[in-house]
Amino acid sequence: MKPIITLAGLVLAAASAWVQAEPIVIKFSHVVAEDTPKGKGALMFKRLAEERLPGQVSVEVYPNSTLFGDADELEALRNDDVQLLAPSLAKFEQYTKQVQVFDLPFLFDDLDAVNRFQKRAKGRQLLRSMEDKNLTGLAYWHNGMKQLSATRALRMPRDASGLSFRIQPSAVLEAQFDAVGATTRKLAFAEVYDALKTGTVQGAENPWSNIYSKKMHTVQPYITETNHGVLDYMVVSNTRFWMGMPHKIRFELEAILDEVSYMVNLEAEQLNQADRERIRQSGTSEVITLTQEEREAWREAMRPVWQQFESVIGADIIKAAETVNRKQRN
């Protein structure tokens, strides 16, 4: 018998395909405080997504490693236990070596140079470099340039010799400290303050906003303004989850992410400078400004790391970053 298709049936079928019974839940987990570039970006994403896709999307933000921490967040994402993360670029080593380009010391003069690289073809390409691992990069977010903090005043590279520094899980960062005679401990971000306080490590490298929001300045009497590297983020999702969303919702979320990324990247430097000033005014730590010669000595000491990682990262990628950086100097 032929099925009878009525107009009412068609309307009902179309409506049920259209009406979404439950909102799509997006858990956005991160490891920093809310008053940082990433913390603010996650909250702005939640606000805009829920305003523009009411009833269709619900975003839950978990800051300060309250849901997942450095050790397990990327695996949790791949297992779809969380749907959005923004790990620091140094945390992808296990999934791609190419992203380590961002860890190379003294490759970028400032955030503008980083920005230029991220917008060019090679930088964009890195967002897609982990899709075979079920990880899709959606955007870059800035935090800021890293500064060296320690129990000792660091003016020349030899001052770091014999100290132990906390690092993120990156072989490049390990080599960077090795180049100045220091040792390293790979620790999760949530463990850094205690490790500095108890003396498990004597130094660290962080942008001002992470130092201030986690009170690291209260346990580090010296902070040298080296700007020797960058700490930025890749906003990532589970590829199957992201691509599996209804197109209209995904496109709207991607447009929102573009808007949020623009704001995060616009305000990151300002936020870091404000935290630098707060640290200075707190009087807990001496903020050391390097002379041009002193900074050049750090650059010289750490520069061999580029060569060491050229074949791992890719000479073409390093060259592309170097080229956009040089533009600044012309």
Residues numbered 27-86 forming contacts with ligand SIN, rule: CB under 6 A: 31-32
Instruction: Count Cβ neighbours within 10 Å for each residue of 196-232 and write b for 16 or more, e otherwise.
Output: beeeebbbbbbbbbbbbbbbbbbbbebbbebbbbbbb
Using the minimum distance from each CB to ligand SIN, give the nearer residue, 23 or 169: 169
Using the minimum distance from each CB to ligand SIN, give the nearer residue, 28 or 324: 28
Provide the mask over 176-205, with x wherever binding to ligand SIN is found by CB under 6 A and - wherever it is not.
Answer: -------------x----------------
Q: Helix or strand or coil: residue 35?
A: coil
Q: Which residue has the tokens 């050229």?
A: 310
Provide the mask over 241-280, with x wherever binding to ligand SIN is found by CB under 6 A and - wherever it is not.
Answer: ----------------------------------------
CB of 183 vs ligand SIN, minimal distance in Å = 17
Measure the CA–CA gap between 17 and 252, rounded to whole angstroms.
Answer: 19
Phi, psi of 225 (to 5 degrees): -80, 85
Using the minimum distance from each CB to ligand SIN, give the nearer residue, 123 or 229: 229
What's the burial of 104, exposed, middle or buried (CB within 10 Å: 0-12/13-18/19+)? buried
Ramachandran assignment for 65, one of left (phi > 0), alpha (psi -120 to 50 degrees), beta (any other): left
Using the minimum distance from each CB to ligand SIN, give the nearer residue, 89 or 290: 89
Structural tokens at position 141: 């977010």
Tell whether residue 320 is a contact of ligand SIN (CB under 6 A).
no
Provide the mask over 135-174, with x wherever binding to ligand SIN is found by CB under 6 A and - wherever it is not.
Answer: --------x------------------------x------
Residues that bind ligand SIN (CB under 6 A): 31-32, 88, 143, 168, 189, 206, 210, 231
